[in-house]
Every structure is written in structure tokens, then in C-alpha cells.
């Protein structure tokens, strides 16, 4: 084993890491809120506790939910001020004090420090199989947070039947690209909303959507949904919240399901400034179920998901588009890019270019 790992003989590193300097109650987080600092980290074998490993981080997953941990709200998932922030990442074991892992192993860490190095318990990790045919960035995309989120939203909570009418917002985003493909694999009719004509083209041509619309052009969402869903909406995977969610509630069918994956249009506002949804009463007569979800609650189903997704990737049934930003220093701009409609697909930071 060993491979690249063995060549690293550092016993102490200058470790660059992102930390929460100040909460961002509203707006896109800036360099006032998230700062990069350098801290010494000992990688000497005797400074690593038993059952722990030292990792050199390779890729970090940049996902919208991170924003919700930076607002300083009463939500207990807030990052602590002055502390390193964490995300889903992938790294190489460079020291091991645990029998399960060897130097050189590639591992996935669902909550790793956004840093160049870290020392972590083996309990947090899952080994990456280099013979799986899955690429490293795929491992934090289709096989990571967005793929799993799309799977929980569509397969577990949305559970559409063949022929069901499925709507997905932020359809060209990381979750949206998988959600559309998973719904198509179930035989549904799938429509997406996204932020440009090019992206509408992309979701149709690459991600299997039957059709889609550009919400910057079709500003009357109600009219757009009436046109795209003459038979109503059975499942809506909500990634945006606000006005789009409200418009959907005017077109839901009986017993429609609305898994709430995230609400990217709402993250950067304090809650009293958010767009109120005025027609929740429609949920009564139509007996709609709306349900928020976090992936941690579905970890017992990760194996089932990973098996299905790996098969889809191998069979070419699920495609991925990834934007890889280079260098740990690119994390802040990568995060901000999620909120500006400038991305397509999954945003990943490659820690060392």
C-alpha cells in the first residue's frame, strides 16, 4: 500500500484551514465571515490517538446546506465562532493508528475540517475502493451529498410512480441533476426550473429532463407551471423555497409530496425578510405532505443508495457535471458561486491543485 502516502514524512505541517470568524445573518458569506488561517498540526505518530488517522485532504464538497450553519441562528447545527468549519470530503491516509486503515488508503469523511490536513477518528471514515471505476470527484458528487440527497428526495420521500409528474427546482444544480435522472429512471415525466436558457438545454440534453424553463424569463411561475403541468404536480423536490414553492402549491395533485431538500433562494435572508408562502391552505384539501430532510437521518439507507448509484454510473444511466475549483483558498468563492446562478452541476474544491 502506501503509494503517495508513504512519501510524506512531515511530522508537523503548516495547515491552512477555513474558520468561522463571524456569523452572516443575511447575504452571501464573505471574507468577513469565513477566514483562512494557518495553524501548526503535529502529524508525528505518537501525537495521533489510538483509533485515529491523519488525513491529507484531496477534495471538499461545496454544498448549499453549509450556508445554513453560518447564520448564527438558534439552530444547534451552527458552526462555532473561531472554529474550523467542516464539510463532506475525501482524503488520503498519511498516518494510521487504527487497524482498519493503512497509509495511502483513500477515505471519505462526511464531516471533515475544510483544511489541508486533519486527524480524525476511524469511526467517521469510509474507504474508497480504487477499483470501483468511480472517480474521486464522483465519490463526493453522485456518490456523495448531492447524489444521496437526490436519492432520499426522489426515492424515499417523493416516491413517484411511473408516469407521475415530477417537478425539480434548481434542476441544473448538484442535487437537481441527479433528481431528474433518478425520476426518469422511475419512468416519470420530469420538468425542471433553472436559471438560464443554456441550463434548460443542459438539463434536457444531459440530465434526461423532459423539459424545463428559465425562471429568470418565466417570472410568472404560476403561468409556467400551468403550462408545463396540465395534469398537475405529483412530486416536487424543492431546492429553492419561496415564490416557487408557493406557485407549486397552486398546481399540486391530491396526495402530492414535497420533499424539502433546501431553499437556496431563502438562505441569505433573515427569516422575517423571507418570502412568505401564502397558500399552505391548499395542502389541506389536496392532502399534501411536505417534509424537510437531512441526510444524517437516512444514513441507515446509505448502503442501499450507494449500491444503486454505483450501478447506474457503471451502466452510464446517471451522468455528472462537476466544476472543480483549484486550491483550498478557493473555498469561499466556491461557496458564494452556489448563490449566483453561475454554476452548473456539482462544485468541488481540489485542496491541492
Q: Which residues bind a copy of itself (CB under 8 A)?
A: 65, 68, 75, 77, 241, 245-246, 250, 255, 260-263, 266-267, 271-294, 297
Residue 11 or 279: which CB sits closer to a copy of itself? 279
Smallest distance from a copy of itself to CB 65, Å: 8
Q: How far apart (Å, rounded) are the C-alpha atoms in residues 284 and 136?
A: 45
> Given phi > 0 = left and psi -120 to 50 = alpha, else beta, which region is 344?
beta
Eight-state DSSP code of residue 275: P
Q: How far apart (Å, rounded) are the C-alpha atoms in residues 10 and 43?
A: 7
Residue 250 or 337: which CB sits closer to a copy of itself? 250
Q: How far apart (Å, rounded) are the C-alpha atoms in residues 293 and 337?
A: 24
Smallest distance from a copy of itself to CB 136, Å: 28
In the three-class reduction of DSSP (H, G, I as helix; E, B as strand; rest coil), residue 266 is classed as coil
Smallest distance from a copy of itself to CB 279, Å: 5
Cβ(144)–Cβ(125) below 8 Å: no
- The residues, any chain, with a CB within 8 Å of residue 174's CB and separated by 6 or more, are 63, 141, 145, 146, 345, 346, 347
Residue 243 or 317: which CB sits closer to a copy of itself? 243
Smallest distance from a copy of itself to CB 70, Å: 13
Write out the three cell numbers for 132: 470501483
Residue 13 or 245: which CB sits closer to a copy of itself? 245
Residue 15 or 86: which CB sits closer to a copy of itself? 86
Smallest distance from a copy of itself to CB 104, Å: 37
Amino acid at each position: 500500500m502506501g503509494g503517495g502516502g508513504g512519501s510524506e514524512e512531515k511530522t508537523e505541517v503548516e495547515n491552512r484551514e477555513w474558520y468561522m470568524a463571524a456569523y452572516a445573518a443575511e447575504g452571501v458569506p464573505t471574507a468577513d465571515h469565513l477566514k483562512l488561517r494557518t495553524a501548526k498540526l503535529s502529524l508525528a505518530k505518537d501525537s495521533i490517538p489510538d483509533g485515529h488517522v491523519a488525513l491529507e485532504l484531496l477534495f471538499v464538497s461545496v454544498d448549499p446546506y453549509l450556508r445554513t450553519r453560518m447564520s448564527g441562528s438558534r439552530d444547534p447545527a451552527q458552526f462555532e465562532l473561531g472554529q474550523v468549519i467542516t464539510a463532506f470530503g475525501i482524503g488520503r491516509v498519511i498516518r494510521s493508528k487504527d487497524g482498519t486503515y493503512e497509509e495511502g488508503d483513500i477515505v471519505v469523511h462526511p464531516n471533515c475540517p475544510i483544511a489541508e490536513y486533519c486527524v480524525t477518528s476511524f469511526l467517521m471514515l469510509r474507504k474508497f475502493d480504487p477499483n470501483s471505476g468511480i472517480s474521486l470527484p464522483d465519490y463526493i458528487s453522485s456518490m456523495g451529498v448531492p447524489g444521496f440527497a437526490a436519492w432520499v428526495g426522489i426515492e424515499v420521500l417523493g416516491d413517484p410512480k411511473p408516469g407521475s409528474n415530477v417537478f425539480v427546482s434548481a434542476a441544473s444544480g448538484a442535487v437537481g441533476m441527479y433528481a431528474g435522472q433518478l425520476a426518469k429512471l422511475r419512468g416519470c415525466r420530469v420538468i425542471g426550473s433553472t436559471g438560464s436558457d443554456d441550463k434548460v438545454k443542459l438539463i434536457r440534453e444531459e440530465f434526461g429532463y423532459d423539459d424545463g424553463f428559465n425562471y429568470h424569463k418565466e417570472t410568472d411561475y404560476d403561468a409556467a407551471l400551468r403550462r408545463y403541468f396540465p395534469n398537475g404536480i405529483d412530486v416536487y423536490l424543492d431546492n429553492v423555497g419561496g415564490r416557487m414553492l408557493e406557485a407549486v402549491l397552486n398546481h399540486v395533485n391530491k396526495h402530492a409530496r414535497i420533499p424539502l431538500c433546501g431553499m437556496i433562494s431563502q438562505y441569505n435572508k433573515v427569516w422575517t425578510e423571507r418570502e412568505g408562502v401564502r397558500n399552505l391552505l391548499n395542502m389541506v384539501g389536496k392532502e399534501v405532505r411536505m417534509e424537510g430532510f437531512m441526510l444524517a437521518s437516512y444514513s441507515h439507507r446509505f448502503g442501499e443508495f450507494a449500491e444503486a448509484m454505483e450501478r447506474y454510473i457503471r451502466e452510464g444511466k446517471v451522468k455528472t457535471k462537476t466544476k472543480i475549483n483549484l486550491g483550498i483558498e478557493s473555498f469561499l468563492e466556491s461557496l458564494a458561486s452556489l448563490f449566483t446562478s453561475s454554476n452548473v452541476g456539482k462544485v468541488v474544491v481540489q485542496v491541492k491543485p
